[in-house]
Amino acid sequence: MSLDARRIASLLATERFGRSLDVRERTGSTNDDARDATDAPDGHVVLADAQDAGRGARGRSWASPGGTDLYFSIVVRRPGIELARLPPLTLAVGLGVARACQAHTRAELSLKWPNDVVHADAKLAGILVESVSIGATLERVVIGVGVDVNRTDFGDLAPIATSLRGITGEPLDRERVFADALLGIESEVDRFLAHGSAAIVPRVEARLAWKGREVDCDGARGVLLGLREDGALRLATPTGERPIVSGTLRLQ
């Protein structure tokens, strides 16, 4: 079933996010579309039923079949922070997505640092934040989100991926999930932009996946202790505690 822009508008409870909305049957990448919408207002959202070139962190492909899931990107104009302070924004978005999805599942959802929402170690949603700068000024941020809502067939990814339907056993209303996700994201993004990482990191840490377990992050191995105040990982290694600011986290 196609996504209905008019119904979505009636469901929105946000102040800005999604009030300017571009709903597409199919596109290459909503992040590319949002980045190219140079005149779009703050909070503009591109939502697609399917993507042909969806991508996740580090350029990985994001399978984006039509009719089942959500793929959308949000434009945040002139966020008012320096580029160096931007990385924890991904955690804020993840927190908003997890809160919204958990309301539809009543299942405990966790955050796999730095950009995934997971259930029982299986990926439910992913986040990709990209920025556009002019000189030292952060002009725009594009927040890309993919949420597996009603997908039932993950092929080879079945052991490590899930959907809201897979958790609940019932099909969900994609448009309502989308409206709730936008509200959760707007709330957490605004909190982060107004008060910094200290306003979101403790609540992210409360949902942090794999805390206390042996992990590997691009060759750095140790026990995941938690998060620093700036959102970096704290990893206990054989040579002492080590901060990790980026990378791909895997269980050992």
Using 50, 70 and 90 to split pLDDT, how confident is the model at 134? confident
The pLDDT value recorded for residue 106 is: 85
Structure tokens that stand for 32 in this block: 């590319």
User: What's 52's DSSP letter?
Assistant: S
Q: Indicate if the alpha-carbon torsion angle 70, 74, 122, 180 is positive or negative.
A: negative
User: Contact 218/249 with Cβ under 8 angstroms?
Assistant: no
Q: Beta strand 214-217 with 249-251: parallel, antiparallel or unpaired?
A: antiparallel
Which segments of the chain belong to CATH 3.30.930.10? 5-206
What CATH code is assigned to 5-206? 3.30.930.10
Arithmetic mean of pLDDT, 188-205: 96
Mean pLDDT of the chain: 93
pTM, full prediction: 0.94
Using 50, 70 and 90 to split pLDDT, how confident is the model at 102? very high
214-251 is classed CATH 2.30.30.100: yes
The pLDDT value recorded for residue 60 is: 60
Using 50, 70 and 90 to split pLDDT, how confident is the model at 46? very high
